[in-house]
Structure 1
C-alpha cells in the first residue's frame, strides 16, 4: 500500500528545500483534516476505523510540523468521513457543534495559519440549517464540508435543496469528501482504495445532471482527490450531465467544479486534471493526517517536480485558494 512513499528520510528534507526553491513556500492546503480528541474518542467507542487501518493520530503540533516542513502557510481544517452521523442513537447535533467549536478555537488562536470548514449534522436537515447559521455567523467558518452521500442519498438530490439554497445565499465554498459507498466493500479492497473515487464521481455527476449548479450558482464546490475519476472520464458521462443532451453542455457543467490535488499529484493523474479543469479551479491538498507525513510530503514533491508554468504553480499553490477563502487573500 505504501510502495509510493519516499525511499529515504533525506528525500523529505530535500522536498522542503524544493518547495522554497519553486516559490511554493506559501501554499494554502484546502484538504487538511482534523480529529478533535472528543470526536476521535467517540469514533473509537463505536469501532470506527480508517478502512483496514486504525484512525490516525492528530495533534496541533503535528499539523504545524507538517505545514512547516512542506511550505504550507495556511490550512483549511475539516473533519473527514464518516462525519458525525453514525446511527440513530448518536448525538449528531451535539458532536457537529463540538467539532466546529474545536476548529474555530484553533483558528482564533492561529488566524493566519488556519481556517475551517464546518461539519453539519446531516441527514438532520433542520439541524444542518441551524448549524450552518451558527458556523458562519458565530464561529466565522470559511465554508462547509459535505460527504458525497448521506445514508445513500447523493448530493444533488432534491431533498438537500433547502440546505443548498441557504449555502448559495451565503456564497459558500463547499468541500465534497467521499465516504463508503452505500453497498458492501469488495473483500480485500478497502473503501479508500477505490470506492472513494467512485463515490466522489457519483456525487459530481448527480449534482451536475440535477441542474444544481444552475439553481445555486453562487456555490463554489471543491471535489476531493482531483474529482475521483471525473476528469479522466468526463467525456463518457458528459451527455448525462447536460441540460440539452449535448456533450459540450455537459463538459461545461462539469468544469464548474473545483478540484484539489490531495493524493492526486502523480504523473498519471495530473495530466488528466490539468487538461480538464479550469486553470483557476485547482487547489493544493495534503490529506493529512490520513495521509501520513511522509506520504503527504511525497505527493507534494511530485507536484513540485511536475512541469508547470510559474502561473500554474502559483495558482495551484495559493492563488486559487485565496479566491475561495478570503481569510487568506
Structure 2
C-alpha cells in the first residue's frame, strides 16, 4: 500500500553544528551518540539529547523501506520549532532560512517521496512574512507554528494578524505541534515522564485553543491547520469548551472551529484514534508515525487496532494528506 506519513521528523545536522558554535543560549553540543544535546535556557536541564536517528535522513528513509509498504513522508519540525523564535531577530531569520533551504534540498533530492515544511521566526512579524515568502519560493508544502513565541508571547498575539492573513491567502497548511516552552515548571519531574506524557498534550491544546478563542479561525475561515497528536485534549473536552467559552464572544461554538482542523493518528492508543476519527471525520485524519520519536511499526499496529474500514484506511493512509497538502502541486 502507498502511504503518506504526515508526521515525520528529520533535523539537518548543519543547523545543529551552527548552534554548537553559539557562545550563548540556546546552545548545543555533540553527545557522542551521533546526535546532540540542546539547551534553551541557562540553568535548565537539556531539552533534547537525541541520537543519530534524528539527523541521518538516508538511514531514516531506509528504515521506512522495511515496513512492507511504499512509504512517503512529510517532514515537520516538531518541538524544535520554537528555537527560531528564541533567537535574536536577524539570527532567527538566518537560522530559519538555513533550515528551509535544507528541507527544500531534501525535497528535491527525494522528489515524490519526501515533502517538507518551513520554519518561521515569529519574534518580528515582518521578518516572519519575509521568511514565509522565501519558503514559498523554495516550494515547501507548509509551515510549522510553535505553541508559543519563545517563553514570552503567544501565537494569538494581535501583531501576527498579517501572517495569518497571508497563510490563508497562500492556502499553506500550518503544523501545530507542542514545543515544550510554556509549561515545564508545573510539569517537571519524574525524569521527564510527566512532561512527555501530559505536558505536550497541554501545550498543543492551549495553542489550538488560542487560535479558536482569539477569533483567528473565525476571521480566516480558509486557514488550514493540522493539529497534531489526535487533537491533543481538545476533542475529548470539546463539550466543556462549548459550555464555558461564551465570554470569548465567538459567533459560533468553539467546536465549530476545532472541527475545521485536521489531525494525525499519532497516539499509542487505538481507542484514541477511533475517537479522533469519530470527532473529526475520516476525511480529516491523516496517518502519522512521529518517527523517530515513535516506532512506525507501532503506529501501523495501532491503526490495525482501531479497525478502519477499507475505504477509511485509504483516506487516512494516503488520500487525505495528498489532498490537504495539495501535493500534486509539487
Q: Which residue of 1 is the match for residue 64 of structure 2? A: 67
Q: Deviations over 1:70-116 (max 9, x none)?
A: 32532111222232233438821111111110110111111110111
Q: C-alpha displacement at 1:214, in angstroms? A: 2.0
Q: Hey, what's the Cα distance between the residues in 1 that align with 2:215 and 2:323? A: 24
- Normalising by structure 1, we get a TM-score of 0.83
Match of residue 230 from structure 1: 234
| Residues 1:271 and 2:268 aligned together | no
Distance 1:206 1:135 in 2: 25
Residues 267-305 of structure 1, C-alpha deviations (whole Å, 9 max, x = no match): 2312321221122111111111233xxx23212222134
Count of residue pairs brought into register by the alignment: 299
Secondary structure of 2:218's match?
helix
1:154 is aligned to 154
Q: Which residue of 1 aligns with 2:322?
A: 322
Normalised by the length of structure 2, the TM-score is: 0.83
CA distance in 1: counterparts of 2:89 and 2:207, whole angstroms: 27
The root-mean-square deviation of aligned C-alpha atoms, in Å, is 2.4
Alpha-carbon offset, residue 44 of structure 1:
5.1
- Listed as ranges, the gaps of 5+ residues in structure 2 are 22-26, 29-37, 40-44
| Distance 1:328-1:56 versus aligned 2 partners, 3 A rule | farther
Q: Aligned partners of 1:42, 1:126: CA distance in 2, in Å? A: 24
Aligned residues of 1:80 and 1:177 also touching (Cα < 8 A): yes
Query: Which structure has more helix as a fraction of its residues?
Result: 2
The 3 A distance-change label for structure 1 pair 123 and 327 is same
- Measured after TM superposition, the shift of residue 193 of structure 1 is 2.5
2:42 matched to which residue of 1?
Answer: none
Identify the residue that residue 51 of structure 2 maps to in structure 1.
56
Q: 2:12 aligns with which of 36, 52, 59?
A: 36
CA–CA separation in structure 2 for the residues paired with 1:143 and 1:174? 6
Cα pair 2:230 2:265 within 8 Å, conserved: yes
User: Which residue of structure 2 lines up, in the alignment, with residue 132 of structure 1?
Assistant: 132
Helix, strand or coil at the partner of 1:288? coil
Query: Which residue number in structure 1 is paired with residue 3 of structure 2?
Result: 27
Separation of aligned partners in 2, 1:285 and 1:26: 14
Q: CA 1:229/1:260 → structure 2, altered by over 3 Å: closer, same or farther?
A: same
Question: Which residue does the alignment assign to 2:121?
Answer: 121
Farther-moved stretch of structure 1 (229-238 vs 196-205): 229-238
Q: Which runs of 5+ in 1 are unaligned?
A: 1-24
Specify whether residues 225 and 42 from structure 1 end up closer, same or farther in structure 2 by C-alpha distance, changes over 3 A only.
farther
CA contact (8 A) 1:34 1:80 kept: no
**Pairs within 5 Å for 1:71-82:** 71-82=69-80
Q: Partner of 1:120: helix, strand, or coil? A: coil
CA distance in 2, matches of 1:240, 1:72: 45
Counterparts of 1:78 and 1:159, CA distance in 2: 25
Name which of structure 1's ranges 201-210 and 56-65 shifts more when overlaid on structure 2. 56-65
Question: Counterpart in 1 of 2:143?
Answer: 144
- Aligned to 2:65, the other structure's residue is in SS state helix
Q: Give the match for residue 313 of structure 1.
A: 313
